A and B are shown apart, each in its own frame.
Chain A
């Protein structure tokens, strides 16, 4: 009985009767490859790869923006860029790197790995997952369309957003930035937030509810734990910025007074709401990387993670304390002594759980057999660099000292150490580590190591001098500086370092592309891994597991490798049981998620310019964008409705004893 339910309720919904005569607006696509296959996919691995591909593209774009920034600052009083362009560049650099590069890269790994690590066939809500992806794309488009006005005068967006990545009110009010770019920034972030919330809800349910038998919470791989904490942070932190963005949007479009001083508004409220989100956000960026590192270090030390429960607990603690420290970004806004002191102390407290992680990673290395493969080098680089970044964070937390550091290059140094030395290093480690799993090919060691050293050296040359620039009084977000300030050499070194770093990044990705086509074919388990994803073929088949595994220990695969007979028998039984009740159920692809996202694009794009007339072919078509905005929202609602009627659908896979997979639809 329970098995029967299992089969149906796997996708969580109603089971359609056998002979269905649904009036279908769009036939459910079945193509697994090709454009349609990718656009309508609900397979978590494909969605993960799409996330990853887009994110890497935007990482390069953000990096290019950074290189332009560094080029402008290479000498004093430079005229390479105009002030306005520079402001657009750093705004978009920050926004891109955070929302369009690191977050989606993490989302990519969530998608790729969570179902594999918990032993599931997909996420809990596969179509919702595809919706998150396409909504994210909508947000990325909205944020970046502004660039077009630099190339096509007809697009009057007023350039890319230029309010800084935290868009402090009242600079975002219509009086100071009347351009459309700011509206697009507001809507872009809002849409990205929606995407993240939806995706996170999905991951939370997947991790909590779709664990394979025997996989208790305290056996969950650390990466998955960190993904869970991150997802919680996302659903709890994003609402704050969502409300703040709504308020700005109302201020800009409907004359409300939230941040309008003449009406009694207090712009500081924006800062509070932003950082209530913004600080947890930085842990959203770093916790998944801590997860990657916690997977990679044990693998290459050939030892389990030291102090697993404490690492997990400290991750949760970081997430929790992270909600109580937001005002450390506002030490200079005159919070009052008590609040300043309270937030300073709370901020320092975060060093403790973070330190615990560092200590346990060292504990993991201790007594191991360290194999310095490329992922391991990035992971070790992560520990070193993140520690340095954490220390400058502690320096910030001493509020009176921060009065000198805030908005100076010292902050830039701090957060690039944690964001690049931390998050990015770990991501590069992760990409390298899991590349063989998802593409079935190895990345050559030599080129990997070369790119590591280029990146490591370039990174330190770029950002180490920035500490000194900051202490020497160089403010951030300045498009130019004078030659008598003592900043010339530091900036020159930093810019040269940035080029080196760029070269390293270029090498890294060029090698990946080469390996994709020409790399040595990897086996299922090239690194002698410890978690479940290494137990299945590379690249993983559509259904992930021929049989849902039963988990017996914390490092599930490691355990299986050392208890092979027992496991083999268990496996065979599982396969048989599954086949006896109809085979492996797989969800159907669907058009509706992407159509809904398209509706959202039309809706938000037009809502952003509500008060402008719609012009086409030099003619005013509508007096406002309202009709188009409503059209977009109607598409969205209709698509969601059809989506709910469509049901999860599905087909079955049957695995023959010789491993051949066949597909069956309908009757069973």
Chain B
């Protein structure tokens, strides 16, 4: 079977009883389930907002709405890139798919970095921790779970990205593994140290101070980045192609879902507090 011999209809799979590809069905069912996950978490948060106990944190004094709005925007953009990645692979364009995947991961990282900054800021500056108020407990757990979803999404995208390099003739597992490691290190360093640090800088911290403070992680990040660039050059034919559109699309579904959950969190947890 050749990719140019057949038109692949990305909305119909002739081998299944319903015409929906198995993977797509699996992911939609999982997302239905995930609705309940977040439903339970958001309920917990809102239930405790109904009748706050004495000594509860006051959200509006803690939130930084500009930053959060910016994060929201970032996540929306990542969704756009994800949609474009699917669009690209459905048209058989592996190159462009890679770029879009990296872009999605990059924006995901920005979002995560923003959250890391937000969390540390809340804990060290606003003195709101996981345990010193019920608001802290529910807020961190809810947004943290969402953040974990994003992080898992980045990891999955990274795996997908690395997989686009799998040589057509097989083999290369080790290289593949190193590649994945480079992705993890680079993006990990980016969202744990680099992005939050840069936000500090935007808010007035000194850049050189930052460099000195996190010298080791930054060095690791740069090594990772170089490895990424080196490994990212095309090396012969790859196995990945238009037929894998469903794989990219599946992860895309997950990614967009994480985005819509944030749409709800942004309104229910942040914006409504300002009324």
The chain A residues found within 8 Å of chain B, CB to CB, are 1-2, 4-6, 8-10, 12, 14-17, 19-25, 124-125, 197, 201-202, 204-205, 208-211, 215, 235-240, 242-244, 246-247, 250, 254-258, 263-266, 269, 273, 276, 637, 641, 644-645
Contacts and interface: CB of A to CB of B under 8 A. Distances in A.
B275 interface: no
A125 B16 CA distance: 13
Contacts of B163: 644-645
A641 B141 CA distance: 27
A9 B13 CA distance: 9
B131 interface: yes
B17 A256 contact: no
Interface of B: 1, 6, 13-18, 20-23, 25-26, 29-30, 32-34, 36-37, 39-41, 44, 47-48, 52-56, 130-134, 136-138, 141, 145, 155, 159, 163, 166, 168-174, 176, 180, 239, 243-244, 247
Nearest to A124: B22
Contacts of A125: 22, 26
Nearest to A273: B40
Contact of B14 (A6, A15, A238, A258): A6
B169 A17 contact: yes
Contact of A269 (B21, B25, B47, B172): B47
Contacts of A258: 44, 134, 137-138, 141
Nearest to A211: B17
B266 to A, nearest CB: 20
Interface centre among B21, B133, B173 (most CB of A within 10 A): B173
Given A205-B25, A239-B36, A215 B30 contact: no
Contact of A243 (B14, B44, B137, B176): B44
Contacts of A14: 239, 243-244, 247
A202 B6 CA distance: 29
Contacts of B41: 243
Contacts of A266: 47-48
A250 B16 contact: no
Contacts of B36: 235-237, 239-240
A661 B197 CA distance: 64
A125 B26 CA distance: 10
A197 B33 contact: yes
A17 B239 contact: yes
A256 B137 CA distance: 5
A545 to B, nearest CB: 15
19 contacts: A5-B15, A9-B21, A12-B21, A12-B22, A17-B168, A22-B173, A124-B26, A201-B30, A204-B26, A209-B16, A211-B17, A235-B30, A238-B33, A246-B141, A247-B141, A256-B136, A258-B134, A263-B53, A273-B44
B82 to A, nearest CB: 19
A257 to B, nearest CB: 5
Given A125-B26, A237-B36, A243-B41, 17 more contacts: A4-B1, A14-B247, A17-B168, A17-B239, A21-B171, A22-B171, A23-B171, A23-B172, A124-B26, A205-B29, A235-B29, A235-B36, A246-B141, A264-B54, A264-B133, A266-B47, A276-B40
Contacts of B20: 208-209
Chain A residues touching B, majority SS = helix
A10 B15 CA distance: 7
A1 to B, nearest CB: 6
A17 B172 CA distance: 14
A105 to B, nearest CB: 23
A244 B39 CA distance: 12
Given A5-B15, A210-B17, A264 B53 contact: yes
A242 B37 contact: yes
Contacts of B53: 263-264
A250 B52 contact: no
A12 B244 CA distance: 10
Contacts of B23: 12
Contacts of B33: 197, 201, 235-236, 238-239
Interface centre among A246, A256, A265, A269 (most CB of B within 10 A): A256
Contacts of B52: 264
Nearest to B25: A205
A264 B244 contact: no
Nearest to A4: B1
A215 B169 contact: no
